[in-house]
């Protein structure tokens, strides 16, 4: 639970390992937003991330739920820039919901304020 400006955000951190991916839809259903966090330093797995993201968004029960994609770990040299994340994940093809994408680092907290702002706006 995160509190900001009188808004309570209830956030589920769902495990990313393959054996848990079939649970993602159940957690996302009925939520105000889906936050899809990728490791932007791990460029080899961007194709996997694209597959899993579009697979998830293809679930009928999730149509219309706003999507926030975070390219985390931008404190590491060689991380994928935002333009690459947007194009490798084909975010411009997602037309049935609002989509935002930020590069960030939860370690250095770069863009954490922007993320919280986005979430409080969506939830209010
Ligand atoms: N350099 C750097 N490391 C980070 C950042 N965020 C997380 N990590 C590290 O990445 C590793 C994995 O972090 P977790 O928070 O466990 O990742 P997770 O996505 O919850 O992992 P699963 O849900 O188990 O797939 C840890 O060693 C973190 O310290 C970041 O912004 N920068």
- What residues are annotated to the active site? 17
Q: What is the pLDDT of residues 19-56, one digit of tens each?
A: 999 999 999 999 999 999 999 999 999 999 999 999 99
Q: What is the pLDDT of residues 78-107, one digit of tens each?
A: 999 999 999 999 999 999 999 999 999 999
Q: How much is the pLDDT for 52?
A: 97
Q: Which residues line ligand 1 (CB under 6 A)?
A: 13, 15-17, 72-73, 75-76, 105-107
Total domains present in the chain? 1
Domain that holds residue 9: 2-123
Q: Is 55 left (phi over 0), alpha (psi -120 to 50) or beta?
A: alpha
* Predicted-complex ipTM score: 0.92
What is the number of the ligand 1 atom nearest to the C-alpha of 14? 23
Write the CA distances from 83 to 22, 92, 117, integer angstroms. 29, 11, 21
What is the number of the ligand 1 atom nearest to the C-alpha of 108? 31
Q: How much is the pLDDT for 124?
A: 77
The CATH number linked to 74 is 3.40.50.300
């Amino acid at each position: 639970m995160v509190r900001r400006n009188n808004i309570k955000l209830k956030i589920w951190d769902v495990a990313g390992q393959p054996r848990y991916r079939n649970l993602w839809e159940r957690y996302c259903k009925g939520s105000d937003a889906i936050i899809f966090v990728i490791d932007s330093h791990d460029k080899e797995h961007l194709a996997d991330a694209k597959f899993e993201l579009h697979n998830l968004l293809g679930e009928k029960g999730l149509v219309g739920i706003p999507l926030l994609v975070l390219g985390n770990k931008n404190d590491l040299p060689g991380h994928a820039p935002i333009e690459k994340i947007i194009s490798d994940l084909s975010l411009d093809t997602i037309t049935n919901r609002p989509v935002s994408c930020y590069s960030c680092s939860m370690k250095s907290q770069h863009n954490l304020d922007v993320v919280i702002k986005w979430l409080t706006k969506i939830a209010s």
